[in-house]
Structure 1
Amino acid sequence: MSESSITMKGQTTLPKTVRQALDLGPGDRLRYVILDGGQVRIMRTRSVSGLAGMLRRTTQAPVTLDQMDEAVAQGANDRP
């Protein structure tokens, strides 16, 4: 378990083990989620551009926007 103290300005330094676990570096941003029972979850935020390719499937060929529109239209037509 890692610990740190709070300064007079309300600041703290994240322990190295926490920075490594979250893969944090200078300039990275954090999100704090307050949970029940006085607990807080710390998460590294990611920019939208960092999400590119996250859902890529190597076994599936990419599709065009026209193909996506066609699939959506077909799905709408298939509904009762």
Structure 2
Amino acid sequence: MRQYRLTVTSKGQVTLPASYRKAAGIETGSTLNLVVDDSGIARLRKTLSLSDLAGSLTHGLTKDQRNFTQDDIDASVDEAMNAQAERASGRRR
């Protein structure tokens, strides 16, 4: 695990070290998400663009398995959203 020290300026800004930016693939114009959990642990992640995700639906599939219909895609999205909602409701109990 790598550790980086950041200093907050009077304007609330921080500079990400070049070694971190390189390791995380962060370039000028990249969008980041900062998530802080209830215990105060922060996670900083690069937001993936559509080009970053290109081909991810077909990774590991044979050529015959790569023919998705809109119904297949809709069902997959519904399944993922339901799973996310279940995880979220489980945390609130």
CA distance, structure 1, for counterparts of residue 59 and residue 16 of structure 2? 35
Equivalent of residue 69 in structure 2, options 48, 65, 68? 65
Letter in 2 for 1:32: L
The corresponding residue for 2:52 is 50
**Which of the pair has the greater relative contact order for Cα pairs under 8 Å at 6+ separation?**
1
TM-score (norm: length of structure 1): 0.68
Residues 1-80 of structure 1: pairs in structure 2 closer than 5 A: 1-61=3-63, 62-63=66-67, 65=69
**Quick one: which amino acid aligns to residue 65 of structure 1?**
T
Inter-partner Cα distance in structure 1 for 2:61 and 2:41:
41
**Higher share of residues assigned strand:** 1
Distance in structure 2 (CA, Å) of the matches to 1:64 and 1:31: 30
User: Unaligned 5+ residue runs, structure 1?
Assistant: 73-80
Tell me the alpha carbon deviations over residues 10-66 of structure 1, each in whole angstroms, 9 at most, x when there is no partner. 011001222122111100010011113211100000123431201223551132638
Q: Within 2, Cα distance between the matches of 1:51 and 1:40?
A: 24
Give the paired residue count. Answer: 68
Give the number of the structure whose residues are more often helix, by fraction: 2
Taking structure 2 as the reference length, what is the TM-score of the superposition? 0.60
Q: Which has the larger radius of gyration?
A: 1
Structure 2 unaligned blocks of 5 or more: 76-93
